[in-house]
Amino acid sequence: MLARSFGCARVVFNDALRARQDAYAAGVTLSDTDVQKQVVTAAKKTPPRAWLAEVASVVLVQACQDARRAYRNWFDSMSGKRKGRKVGPPRFRSRKDNRQAIRLTRNGFSLRPNRKLYIAKVGELKVSWSRDLPSVPSSVTIIKDAAGRYFASFVVETTDDPLPECDAEVGIDLGLATFAVLSDGKVIESPKFLRQAERRLKKAQQALSRTQKGSKNRVKARIRVAQAHAMVADARKDWAHKQSTVIIRENQAVFVEDLCVTGLARTRLAKSVHDAGWAMFTRMLEEKAARYGRTFVKVDRWFPSSQLCSTCGVLDGPKPLSIREWQCAACGVVHDRDLNAAKNIHAAGRAEWLNACGGTVNPAV
């Protein structure tokens, strides 16, 4: 029944998308209610879509909402209301998509005393709980990933859990040779999960390429490739969670350079950049800082952290990546490239933080 729910949600999403496209092309205004009546309520009464009644109506309604949200995000992105990367027009979903998902609000699911999850018109699902829920969930998303695994993601209301204040602050310089160098001298080595798994991934990919398109063996081989990639992604995510938690617990303020990961991912360093997972790591730092009462500041990506002398503040000029140590022409201090950058990021982030708080910036700090 989960597979049927995934399929019905996909069909309703595509129908809602088509209805909005046709209305837009015809210059007709179509409200959310009109779309829902057309692709859900009325559609279930027609022979070609009668099977939509076999799944919970909340699944179909949420699929309509997803289509509406996709359109709104696109329009807001074009008009400049939506910040961040540009969002393209919504696309139709294929039955061959590796990722499938349905979303249910409170009237479509419940948590049973036996710790099972009940889904309307599906039944009870056995769940391996990663943690206890802090409050009653308002909605749940059931996801099937490319590796054939199922996840239940709940929306719950939580409260901040501030940690005891401490005096430590840290600037972080992210890199590829070493994952991060902290302004206090600590070095976090890069685990390079993708590089370590390359042989296993290559073997699985070769097995996939030898199968015939459309065959059951190809489906099995594709799942094995997805499982191999999922193992790498899970290991990287778990490691990033542990490292970010330690940094947040030990420091009252954390300062990180706002790297252009998208731009770097288009260079010859793309594989190493993706393997590092900088964006995921900084996002974890930002989220945990907000939750635990810490300060998190992103330093502008154009700040010359590798060109400034952290001792005297003289701008020494750009340096190729091959130079790992350099001597300041003004004060003569010899710097480790990454440690010096981390110290400069700390100073710049701290200055920005104090300015935002109305404090006084001490040039000596």
Active site (catalytic) residues: 173, 257, 338
Tokens 């909005």 sit on residue: 20
SS (H, E, C) 191-215: CCHHHHCHHHHHHHHHHHHCCCCCC
d(CA 141, CA 151): 8
Please, what is the Cα angle at 198 between 192 and 199, to 5 degrees?
135
Structure tokens at 258: 């706002």
d(CA 281, CA 74): 27
Measured CA to CA in angstroms, residue 108 lies from 43, 238, 263, 321 at distances of: 20, 31, 42, 55
H-helix or E-strand containing 169? strand 169-174
Dihedral of CA 96/237/158/254: which sign?
Answer: negative
- Comparing C-alpha atoms, which of 175, 127, 203, 163 is closest to residue 275? 175
Dihedral of CA 88/92/93/94: which sign?
Answer: negative
Cβ-contact 335, 326 below 8 angstroms:
yes
Please, what is the Cα angle at 187 between 185 and 309, to 5 degrees?
45
- The type of residue at 147 is A
H-helix or E-strand containing 222? helix 216-250
- Residue 308's SS3 state is strand
